[in-house]
A and B are shown apart, each in its own frame.
Chain A
Amino acid sequence: MGWTADADRRWMPVAGLALAGLLIAATGPALAQSAPIRDYAEPALIDSRLAVWVAAQLHLDFAAFVLAVPMFALAIEVFGWRMARRDPAGAARYDWMAHEMARLLPAAYSLTAISGAFLGMLLFSAYPRLMAYMTETFGPTFVIYPMFFVAETIFLYLWYYTWNRLQGNRKWVHIVLGLLLNIFGTIVMFIANAWATFMMTPGGVDEAGALISLYDAVWNPGWMPLNVHRLIANITFGALLCAAYAAYRFLSARTEAERALYDWMGYTGNLIALFTMLFLPFAGYYFGFELFAYSATYGVTLMGGVLSWLFIIQAIVIAILFIGAAYYAWLGLLRIPGSEPQRRMVPVFNVALIAGFMVWATPHSMAASIEESTGQFHPLLGALGLMAPKMIAVTLILVVLYVSYLLYRRAGKVPVVPWARTGTQVEWALIALMALIILGLGIYGYFAPADIRIKTSIWQILVLIGGIVITFGIDLALLKGAETRAAVRWGTMPRRGQYILILLAFVIVWLMGLMGYARSGARLNWHVFGLIEDTSVSAGLPTLGEAAIVVTAITLIFFVLLGIAFAISALSGRDTLPEFGDEAREAAA
Chain B
Amino acid sequence: MSNKPGTAGRNWLPLPVGSALIIIVAFILLKSVRPVIPHSVILLYMGFIVLGVVIHITLEDTRIRRFWDFFLAQPGEGGVLKVQRLAMLALLPLVAGWWAYDSVRPTYAPPVEIFQRHPTVGEATLAQIVVPPWALVPANWRDSDIAAGKVLYVANCAICHGDKLDGAGSAAPGFRYPIRPANFRDAGTIAQLTLPYVYWRLTIGGLQNQFNSAMPRWVAAPGDANASSLHSNDFTSDEAWQVILYLYRETGYTPRAE
Question: How distant is the Cα of A361 from the Cα of B51 in the complex, in angstroms?
Answer: 14
Assuming the contacts A331-B59, A375-B178, asked whether A365 and B194 have C-beta atoms less than 8 A apart, the reply is no
> Does B155 interact with chain A (Cβ within 8 Å)?
no
A308 within 8 A of B: yes
Q: Is the CB of B56 within 8 A of A347?
A: yes
Residue of A nearest to B38 (CB): A368
Contact A370 B177 (CB under 8 A): yes
Residues on B with beta carbons closer than 8 Å to the beta carbon of A369: 38-39, 109-110, 112
Contacts of A363 in B (CB 8 A): 41
Contact across chains for A373 and B118 when beta carbons are under 8 A apart = no
What's the least CB distance linking B102 to chain A, in Å?
A: 13
In the complex the two chains form, is A529's CB within 8 Å of B35's CB?
no
**Is the CB–CB distance between B40 and A299 below 8 Å?**
no
Complex: A361 Cα to B188 Cα, angstroms: 18
B68 interfacial contact with A, CB 8 Å: no
- Asked if A533 and B124 make an inter-chain contact with CB atoms under 8 angstroms apart, the answer reads yes
Interface string of A359-378 (1 = CB under 8 A from B): 00111111111111111101
B193 touches A375 (CB 8 A): no
A346 to B57, CA, bound (A): 12
- CB within 8 Å for A297 and B126 given contacts A319-B48, A334-B61, A381-B37: yes
Answer yes or no: B192 CB below 8 A from chain A CBs: yes
Complex: A327 Cα to B51 Cα, angstroms: 11
Which of A287-338 touch B at CB < 8 Å? 295-297, 299-301, 304-309, 316, 319, 323, 327, 330-331, 334
Q: What is the CB-to-nearest-CB distance from A524 to chain B, in angstroms, rounded to a whole number? A: 6
Interface string of B157-197 (1 = CB under 8 A from A): 00000000000000000011111100000011001111001
B176, A316: Cβ atoms under 8 Å?
Answer: no
- Are A308 and B41 in contact (CB-based, < 8 A)? no
Binding site for A on B (CB under 8 A): 33, 35-41, 44-45, 48-49, 51-52, 55-56, 58-61, 109-110, 112-124, 126-127, 175-180, 187-188, 191-194, 197, 256-258
Inter-chain contact B58/A530, CB cutoff 8 Å: no
Scan residues 534-588 of chain A and give those whose CB is less than 8 A from a CB of chain B: none
Quick one: which of A306, A323, A379 contacts B35, CB cutoff 8 A? A379
* Chain B residue at minimal CB-CB distance from A330: B59
**Is A361 in contact with B177, judged by CB distance below 8 angstroms?**
no
Contacts of B36 in A (CB 8 A): 371-372
Q: Which residues of A contact B177 (CB under 8 A)?
A: 368, 370, 373, 375
A301 to B192, CA, bound (A): 12
Instruction: Kindly report which residue of chain B lies nearest to residue A362, judged by CB atoms.
Output: B41
Min Cβ gap A533→B in Å is: 7
Residues in A neighbouring B116, C-beta threshold 8 A:
304-306, 308, 365
Q: Given A330-B59, A350-B52, A372-B36, are A304 and B118 also a contact pair (CB < 8 Å)?
A: yes
Give the contacting residue for A367; candidates B33, B113, B119, B121; CB below 8 A. B113
Known: A305-B119, A365-B115, A525-B123. 12 other contacts (CB 8 A): A327-B55, A347-B59, A357-B48, A358-B48, A362-B41, A367-B115, A369-B109, A369-B110, A372-B38, A373-B176, A380-B33, A524-B123
In the complex, chain A residues whose CB is within 8 Å of the CB of B187: 449-450
B45 proximity list for chain A (CB < 8 A): 358
Given contacts A366-B40, A374-B176, A376-B179, contact A296 B114 (CB under 8 A): no
Given A316-B44, A450-B191, A308:B117 Cβ within 8 A: yes
What separation, in Å, do the CA atoms of A306 and B44 have in the docked complex? 21
Interface residues on A, range: 35 or more
Cβ contact within 8 Å between A300 and B118: yes
Contacts A296-B194, A350-B55, A365-B179 given; does A305 touch B40 at CB 8 Å: no
A135 to chain B, nearest CB (A): 24
Interface flag for A354 (CB, 8 Å) = yes
Q: Quick one: which of B38, B117, B122, B124 has the most chain A CB within 10 A?
A: B38
Q: Which residue of B51, B60, B123 contacts A354 across the interface (Cβ within 8 Å)?
A: B51
Residue on A with the closest CB to B41? Answer: A366
Whether the pair B35, A525 counts as a contact (CB closer than 8 A) is: no
Is A371 in contact with B180, judged by CB distance below 8 angstroms?
no
Residues in A with CB closer than 8 Å to B35 are: 374, 378-379
The answer to the question of A45 belonging to the interface, with a C-beta cut-off of 8 Å to chain B, is no
CB distance from A404 to the nearest CB of B (A): 12
| In the assembled complex, A455 has its CB within 8 A of some CB on chain B | no
User: B58 and A372: CB pair below 8 A?
Assistant: no
A164 CB, min distance to chain B CBs, angstroms: 40
Q: Are B180 and A376 in contact (CB under 8 A)?
A: yes
B39 adjacent to A372 (CB under 8 Å): yes
* A350 CA to B29 CA, complexed, in Å: 20
The contact of A496 among B40, B52, B58, by CB within 8 Å, is: B58
Whether the Cβ atoms of B38 and A367 lie closer than 8 Å is yes
Complex contacts, A366 vs chain B, CB 8 Å = 38, 40-41, 115
